[in-house]
């Protein structure tokens, strides 16, 4: 049995005091394609950076072709045939497409091998051949992503780690990018693909690894991954802390839907009425009345004043301002006590000068 190109054993990583990975173990065989999936913040990009040496591992062991590279720097890992295409567009915007490729290829294969490397890149990605004289900064997002991927074709690596290839790309561009991935894999390169478009990556992968909160939640053949991934990522299975099912697409539970609304309790007039002719709810009860002034001790309290009915709405004047009502009627910016406007709410609006 051949030695796997990549082995991780109980790998952990942290950013200062924040732990991002917890005992991750996985294997990438030679000529294999592994899909690394999970939701945002699951630790996928961190794991890719740890493998390529951009983020040091705080625990565990990383082996590339059987060699322990846990404490290696990024450039030493790259010399072993590991290439990492991170999230984003790693290109020179002030250079043309061909100049970007020439700089990358010349460093890896020298001046003599640059012409052959350019031919391979243009054959794999015809859109780059059409725009070879165009500046990198003027390319579309998908074309810039293709350009960053084409730099790998100079010398096909032993292991290619690609992070979020389809992020922000149109579907037709995503098809071109994945066609390029397949072409690189056919050159004998193993792939570790970090992706959120699960259907897309499972179509080309041999095995899938699901990360949940920095730990491996499931690993198995890609053809068997869909039910588990749907349960873990779309809310059909238990949550990571085991409390209960995850919310399905933002739906509320039956117990929460049956609970009364705090808004309806505080402001009864804001509650929806059933039918257009439903009578308004009564106003909130008034507080305790003040004791009568000047009355003898033990005298019965004065009866409460009759409830004031809200005045009719006055038509707007020529300038759009409401006409003044009878004396004592509430106007703009004043407090209004009525069944439709509870006493603990304020109706605030613009004030208009008195035309008189």
Is residue 349 included in any domain, yes or no?
Answer: no
Domain of 237 in residue numbering reads as: 1-81+157-242
- Top pLDDT among 177 and 249 is at 177
Residue count (the chain): 356
323: Cβ contacts below 8 Å, ≥ 6 apart = 314, 315, 316, 317
Is residue 188 included in any domain, yes or no?
Answer: yes
- Residue 77 and residue 220 in one domain: yes
pLDDT at 24: 95
Is residue 224 included in any domain, yes or no?
Answer: yes
- Residue 169 and residue 232 in one domain: yes
355: Cβ contacts below 8 Å, ≥ 6 apart = 317
Predicted TM-score (pTM) above 0.75: no
Cβ-based neighbour number of residue 284 at 10 Å: 15
- Hunting for tokens 């509650």 — which residue is that? 271
- Residue 71 and residue 200 in one domain: yes
- Residue 168 and residue 146 in one domain: no
Helix (H) or strand (E) holding 41: none
- Residue 179 and residue 64 in one domain: yes
Is residue 187 included in any domain, yes or no?
Answer: yes
pLDDT above 80 (res 277)? no
- Residue 58 and residue 175 in one domain: yes
- Residue 129 and residue 232 in one domain: no
pLDDT at 104: 85
Cβ-based neighbour number of residue 266 at 10 Å: 12
Mean pLDDT of the chain: 75
Chain CA centroid to CA 137, Å: 26
- Residue 14 and residue 67 in one domain: yes
pLDDT at 258: 45
- Residue 144 and residue 46 in one domain: no
* Burial (CB count within 10 angstroms: exposed 0-12, middle 13-18, buried 19+), residue 147: buried
* Burial (CB count within 10 angstroms: exposed 0-12, middle 13-18, buried 19+), residue 86: middle
Cβ atoms of 36 and 194 closer than 8 Å = yes
- Residue 52 and residue 172 in one domain: yes
Beta bridge pairs of residue 125: none
pLDDT at 348: 45
Least confident of 164-168, 211-215, 244-248: 244-248
- Which of 150, 170, 200 is the endpoint of a domain? 150
pLDDT at 4: 92
Is residue 181 included in any domain, yes or no?
Answer: yes
Look up the CATH number of the domain holding residue 5: 3.40.50.300
12-71 pLDDT per residue, tens: 999 988 999 999 999 999 889 999 998 888 999 999 999 999 999 999 999 999 999 999
Q: 250 pLDDT band (50/70/90 cuts)?
A: very low
- Which of 195, 216, 242 is the endpoint of a domain? 242
Beta bridge pairs of residue 190: 159
- Which of 150, 174, 202 is the endpoint of a domain? 150
Helices 171-185 and 97-124 pack at an angle, to 10 degrees, of 70
Mean pLDDT of 309-316: 60
CA distance linking residue 269 with residue 341, whole number of Å: 7
Number of domains in the chain: 2
CA distance linking residue 75 with residue 53, whole number of Å: 8
Is residue 217 included in any domain, yes or no?
Answer: yes
Is residue 49 included in any domain, yes or no?
Answer: yes
209: Cβ contacts below 8 Å, ≥ 6 apart = 26, 34, 35, 36, 37, 216, 218, 219
- Residue 134 and residue 22 in one domain: no
Both tokens of 311, joined, read 């005045």
Q: 261 pLDDT band (50/70/90 cuts)?
A: very low
- Residue 194 and residue 223 in one domain: yes
CA distance linking residue 52 with residue 313, whole number of Å: 72
Is the Cα torsion angle 207, 210, 215, 216 positive or negative in sign? negative
Is residue 72 included in any domain, yes or no?
Answer: yes
């Amino acid at each position: 049995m051949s030695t796997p190109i990549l082995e991780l054993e109980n790998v952990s990583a942290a950013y200062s005091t924040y732990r991002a990975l917890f005992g991750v173990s996985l294997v990438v065989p030679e000529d294999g394609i592994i899909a690394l999936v999970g939701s945002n913040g699951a630790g996928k990009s961190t794991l890719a950076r740890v493998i390529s040496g951009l983020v040091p591992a705080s625990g565990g062991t990383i082996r590339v072709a059987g060699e322990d590279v846990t404490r290696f720097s990024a450039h030493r890992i790259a010399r072993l045939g590991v290439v990492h295409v991170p999230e984003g567009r790693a290109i020179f915007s002030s250079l043309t497409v061909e100049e970007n490729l020439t700089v990358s290829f010349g460093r890896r294969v020298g001046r003599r091998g640059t012409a052959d490397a350019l031919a391979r890149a243009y054959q794999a990605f015809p859109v780059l051949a059409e725009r070879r004289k165009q500046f990198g900064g003027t390319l579309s997002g998908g074309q810039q992503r293709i350009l960053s991927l084409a730099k790998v074709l100079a010398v096909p690596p032993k292991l290619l780690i690609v992070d979020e290839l389809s992020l922000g790309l149109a579907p037709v561009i995503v098809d071109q990018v994945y066609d390029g991935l397949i072409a690189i894999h056919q050159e004998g390169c193993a792939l570790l693909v970090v992706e959120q478009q699960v259907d897309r990556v499972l179509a080309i992968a041999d095995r899938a690894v699901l990360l949940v909160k920095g730990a491996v939640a499931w690993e198995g053949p890609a053809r068997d991954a869909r039910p588990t991934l749907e349960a873990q990522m779309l809310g059909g299975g238990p949550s990571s802390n085991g409390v209960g099912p995850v919310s399905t697409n933002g739906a509320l539970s039956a117990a929460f839907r049956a609970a009364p609304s705090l808004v309806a309790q505080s402001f009864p007039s804001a509650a929806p009425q059933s039918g257009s002719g439903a009578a308004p709810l009564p106003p909130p009860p008034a507080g305790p009345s003040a004791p009568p002034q000047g009355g003898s001790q033990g005298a019965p309290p004065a009866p409460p004043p009759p409830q004031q009915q809200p005045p009719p709405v006055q038509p707007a004047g020529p300038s759009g301002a409401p006409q003044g009502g009878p004396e004592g009627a509430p106007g703009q910016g004043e407090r209004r006590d009525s069944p439709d406007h509870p006493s603990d709410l304020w109706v605030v609006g613009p004030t208009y000068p008195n035309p008189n």
